Amino acid sequence: MKIYKDIEDFPGSDFAVVTVGTFDGLHLGHQKIISRMKAIAAEHGGDTVLVTFDPHPRLVLNNNPTELRFISSQQRKMQLLEQFGIDNMIVIPFTIEFSKTPSEQFIKEYLVDKIHVKKLIVGYDHHFGRNREGNYKQLEETGKKYGFKVEEIDAQYLDDVAVSSTKIRNALMEGNVKLANQMLGYEYSIAGKVIEGNKIGRKIGFPTANIDVHDKFKLVAAGGVYACKVGVDDKIFYGMGNIGWRPTVGINGLVTEVHIFNFDADIYGKEIIIYFIDRIRDEKRFANLDGLKIQLEKDKIATQKIVNEIL
C-alpha cells in the first residue's frame, strides 16, 4: 500500500475507486466497503484509494477532545488497510479551516481534480463536508455533474444489529471484547513498549509485562482480567492480561499488563501487542498477596481453557 500525506503527491489513476472516511476500527462494515472497492478496481484494471484524515476530525472539532477515545490508532489503521489490500491511502490534514470546506468543493478539488475518481463507494450512513451536509443523494447529483458514479453499501449486520464503530466502542467500555471482536472481524488490541513495573507479580509466580500505551487517545477496554494473545518479535504467545488500578498492591494509575505463559525472555524496551480474546472477570481487591495468587491460579486455568478452545 502506498501512503500519501500530501494529496499533491498522488499521481492519479486511470480508474480510481475511492472511499472517504475516518474508519475507526476498520470493522466488518468498513471491510465490506473495501471488498467492493477491490472487486470494482479488479474489474476495470483500476486502483483502490482510501481517503482519511489526521488528526481525527472529532479531535479538532470537539470542545473537550481529551475525553475522546478511538478503537484504532493511525498506525494500526495503516497496518490493517495494508492487510485488507487497499492500494493507496491518502491522509488529508484536518484543520478548522479545512472543516469549513463545502461538500461539493471538497469533491471537485480533491476527489475529481486530484484523484480523478471514477467510482465512489460510501457506507449506508455516510455524510461529509461542512456540517456533514453531504449525503448520498447529493453525491449522486454531484457525480453526474463531474462524471463519476456512486455506490452505497448496505450496513453489515451481526445478530440483526448493524455494526458500527460506536457499538464497538460501547462493547469495549463494558469489557465485552468478545462481542467487539465479532464486530471488528479480528481481535481488539493494545500496543506499547514494555516498561519497568514494581515486580510484585514476579514475587508470586506471575511476572507481567507492563506496557506504555503510546497513543493517549487509544480506547482502553474496561478494567478486568482477560485471556490474550501476545505478539513479541513477530511470534505469538498466549497469556492473561490485566487492565486496571491493581487495588491489592495500591498502585496509582491505570495499568495495562500481561502475564505470558511459558515465557521468560527479557523484553524490557521491546514493542509488543496484546490481542484480547475474552474477559474472565472484574478487577478485585484481595486482603493480601496470597489471596491474589490463589485467584490468579484460577484465572490461569480459565484462560488456558479459552485458549485451548481456539487452538
Q: What percent of the chain has pLDDT over 90?
A: 75
Helical H segments across the chain, by residue range:
28-44, 57-61, 74-84, 96-99, 103-106, 136-146, 165-173, 177-184, 200-203, 289-310
Which part of the chain is CATH 2.40.30.30?
187-310
Helical H segments across 185-288, by residue range:
200-203
Q: How far is residue 222's CA from residue 219's CA, in Å, rounded to a whole number?
A: 9
Work out the number of other CB atoms within 10 angstroms of the CB of residue 71.
21
Q: What is the DSSP string of 116-137?
A: -EEEEEEETT--BSGGG-B-HH
pTM: 0.91
The mean per-residue pLDDT over the stretch 283-311 comes to: 90
C-alpha cell at 58: 472529532
Q: Please, how many CA atoms are within 13 Å of residue 57, restricted to the half-sphere of its CB? A: 20
Phi, psi of 130 (to 5 degrees): -55, 125
The mean per-residue pLDDT over the stretch 20-26 comes to: 94
Residue 288 pLDDT: 84
Band (276; pLDDT cuts 50, 70, 90)? very high
Second-level CATH architecture of 2-162: 3-Layer(aba) Sandwich (3.40)
DSSP helix/strand/coil, 62: coil
Q: How far is residue 209's CA from residue 256's CA, in Å, rounded to a whole number?
A: 9
Tell me how long the chain is: 311
**Residue whose C-alpha is closest to residue 225's, from 180, 276, 280:** 280
Tell me the CA distances in angstroms from 227 to 5, 149, 168, 266, one per residue in order.
37, 46, 19, 22
pLDDT digits (tens, 9 = 90+) for 178-193: 999 999 999 999 999 9
Q: What percent of the chain has pLDDT over 70?
A: 95
Residue 20 pLDDT: 95
The mean per-residue pLDDT over the stretch 58-74 comes to: 86
Band (36; pLDDT cuts 50, 70, 90)? very high
Residue 126 pLDDT: 74
305 alpha carbon, distance to own chain's centre:
27
CATH topology of domain 187-310: Elongation Factor Tu (Ef-tu); domain 3 (2.40.30)
Mean per-residue pLDDT over the chain, rounded: 91
**Residue whose C-alpha is closest to residue 257's, from 230, 284, 288:** 230
Which part of the chain is CATH 3.40.50.620?
2-162
Residue 246 pLDDT: 66
pLDDT digits (tens, 9 = 90+) for 213-259: 888 899 999 999 999 999 999 999 999 999 987 655 555 678 899 99
Residues facing 203 on adjacent strands? none
Cβ burial of 246 (10 Å; 0-12, 13-18, 19+) is buried
pLDDT digits (tens, 9 = 90+) for 147-181: 999 999 998 999 888 999 999 999 999 999 999 99
C-alpha cell at 246: 491493581
Q: Which of 16-20, 215-219, 267-271 has the lowest mean pLDDT?
A: 215-219
Residues 6+ away with beta carbon under 8 Å from 63: none
Residue 64 pLDDT: 76
The mean per-residue pLDDT over the stretch 48-52 comes to: 97
DSSP helix/strand/coil, 188: coil
